[in-house]
Amino acid sequence: MSAQVIEAPKQHISLKKVLSPIHIWGLGVGIVLVGEYMGWNFSVAKGGALGSLIACWVIGLLYTCVAMIDSEVTSTVAAAGGQYTQAKHIIGPLMAFNVALYLVLAYTMLEAADATVFGDLLQEVAGNFGVANLDPRPFAFLCIMFLAWLNYRGVFITLTFNFVITAFAFVAIILVFFGVAPWSPGVVLHHADLIHGLPYGWIGIIAAFQFGMWYYLGIEGTCQAAEECRSAARSIPLGTMSGMITLVIAASLTWYICSGLLPWEYLGQATTPLYDAARVTNSTWMQVVMFVATVFSNLASANGCINDASRAWFSLSRDRYMPPVFGAVHPRYRTPYRSVLFLIPIAVSFAFTNLLDQIITFSILSGLLGYTFMSINMMRFRRLWPLGSIHRGYIHPFHPLPAVMLFLLCTTVYFATYLGYGSQLLAIMAFFIIASLWFSLHRYKFVKRGDQFTMPWPRPKGY
Amino acid sequence: MGFWQIFSDLSWAVSVLMAVWMIYDTWRVQQEYDESFLMSSREGAEELSAKETDK
């Protein structure tokens, strides 16, 4: 091999700082918006249409707390890894390791689920053209490979692409909302005929909380991009909070459109509720727009998940919590290219198992464990670094109310999950306990303890 | 061979091509650059250098 090896220069290589608030919006909303196109409607099966709306708003409150807490902490920790980095600085290595595992698993499984659905959608289209039983796997594979390639090539092009397709998917919901003439009840929309109170009472509403998470699951992923923002202190709070407002609007409009067009018994088990709602209207343009938007929302979600999972894995490896080889940065594209590459076979293997509901449940549970940590993290953050002791780009109001509310809401969703998926809940708890033991007894000895704390923070209060 | 079968086969082929390109590029980078340089990224490096400049 004649290639000349370039000697290590004195400067450090780093991820490219090119992102602005619109990219953060595209990342956060892009990961989540697919939940409006599919998934949220399973909450209707648990609590009826009204129960689903209550779940939408209550879980919206949970995620508003998540967005506020994330924005404040990330505006001080401008590093890839998001909640992992927060946990490392504020609580300690074992919590950080667990949080990073939640992140990597949640995003990789969600990416696999998105790719599976992408393949299934194309299979359905082929079916409409008379080609039955087309294998969806090549399309799922193409989805993962194309988006991984994009992520490998650079974060700016990746998240600009995400912004465009996410904006299309969001505008599509607004277009269809106006298309169903909400100002003329009873003409296209039939809420009065289709909504029948609470079919399973208040316990149904609680059970609906688990799938209510689909309206917003993944918005916390915005802070994974902190190290690549031109100004994290500005971009992360602005992108995350505007993303959260976008999602509350999109979720409410989605519920309004679907519950006025489809009976709750059907809506509760539909695969693509918004597309089905467009079909009921017999409007060709609405069907076309909804189909394209459904595909785009899937791609945006998978794309954002690859971005976030690779940053979490990269951060873990950079601190030697995992083999440091994955902590490399591409010298030309300035991306965590080895992490992107490493996670591809994992995502493909999840996608090819075809266990979509199991994958989604594990993804939700991993996310939920992460949110529970955030409430504890926030309390400790304000105690160790009180206001004024450290520069914050954003300060969330009414502390400690959001942290306490987040903890209580997470506990309620655990109960809701236990009602429907108790065995999976216990299985994932067991997995994380075993992983924690492995980390404590084996892996932690490889961690260079002093090197992992490089943020120029003042000494915490009381230390 | 119908459109969908060609589309399906093309999907496999394009995916494999992209995988091969990424693996080749990873190998090429490893040959051209020193490993310690590739792994020299530091969390909060810019904040640290800004602080050092202030001093």
Q: Which of A314, A332, A324, A340 is nearest to A227 (CA)?
A: A314
Which of A89, A19, A232, A82 is closest to B46 using CA atoms? A232
Would you call A252 helix, strand, or coil by DSSP? Answer: helix
Q: How many residue pairs from chains A and B have C-beta atoms closer than 8 A?
A: 129
Pairwise CA distance, residues A108 & A118, whole Å: 15
Instruction: Domain ranges for chain A, please list them.
Output: 21-447
Residue A1: its pLDDT value, please? 41
- A238-284 confidence digits (pLDDT tens): 999 999 999 999 999 999 999 999 999 999 988 889 999 999 999 99
Q: Which pLDDT does position A4 carry in this prediction?
A: 53
Tell me the ipTM for this assembly: 0.88
Q: Is pLDDT above 70 for A387?
A: yes
Residue in A6, A149, A454 closest to B18 by CB: A149
The answer to whether the CB atoms of B41 and A141 lie below 8 A apart is no
d(CA A35, CA A166): 12
- Nearest chain A Cα to B51, which residue? A456
Q: What is the spatial distance between Cα A404 and Cα A420, in angstroms, rounded to a whole number?
A: 25
Give mean pLDDT, residues A350-378.
83
- Give pLDDT tens digits for A119-151: 989 998 898 888 888 899 999 999 999 999 999
Nearest to A259 by CA among A175, A191, A176, A170: A191
User: How far is it, in rounded angstroms, from Cα A285 to Cα A383?
Assistant: 55
The alpha carbon of residue B10 is apart from the nearest alpha carbon of chain A, in Å, by: 9
Q: Please indicate whether, in this complex, the C-beta atoms of B45 and A139 are within 8 angstroms of each other.
A: no
User: How far is residue A433 CA from its own chain's centroid?
Assistant: 23
Tally the residues of chain A.
463
pTM of the prediction? 0.90
Predicted local confidence at residue A361, as pLDDT: 77
- What mean pLDDT is predicted for residues A92-99? 90
* Average confidence (pLDDT) over B4-26: 96
**At A461, is the pLDDT very low, low, confident or very high (cuts 50, 70, 90)?**
confident
> pLDDT at position A129, please?
86
Q: Which residue has the higher pLDDT, A356 or A361?
A: A361
Instruction: Tell me which chain A residues have a C-beta less than 8 angstroms from the C-beta of B23.
Output: 341
CB contact under 8 A, B29 and A6: no
Predicted pLDDT of residue A105:
87
Give the whole-angstrom CA distance, residue A335 versus residue A67. 25
What mean pLDDT is predicted for residues A397-419?
92
How many whole angstroms separate alpha carbon A190 and alpha carbon A261? Answer: 6
Option in A13, A149, A455 nearest B43 (CB): A455
Q: Taking CB atoms and an 8 Å limit, are B37 and A455 in contact across chains? A: no
Q: What is the pLDDT of residue A10?
A: 57
In this prediction, residue B17 has a pLDDT band, given cuts at 50, 70 and 90, of: very high
pLDDT over threshold 70, residue B45: no
Angle between the N-to-C axes of helices A83-90 and A356-384, in degrees from 0 to 180, rounded to the nearest 10: 40
Q: Say yes or no to pLDDT of A6 above 80.
A: no
Rank A59-68, A92-101, A167-176, A384-393 by mean pLDDT and report only the highest.
Answer: A167-176
Task: Label residue A85 by pLDDT band (50, 70, 90).
Answer: confident
Tens-place pLDDT, residues A307-344: 999 999 999 999 899 999 999 999 999 999 999 999 99
Per CATH, which fold does A21-447 belong to?
Amino acid/polyamine transporter I (1.20.1740)
Residue B1 has pLDDT above 80, yes or no: no
Q: Give the residue-averaged pLDDT of A186-209.
A: 90
Q: Which residue of B has its CA nearest to A330?
A: B38
- What pLDDT, on a 0 to 100 scale, did the predictor assign at position B38? 94
pLDDT over threshold 90, residue B51:
no
Confidence check: pLDDT of B54 > 50 = no
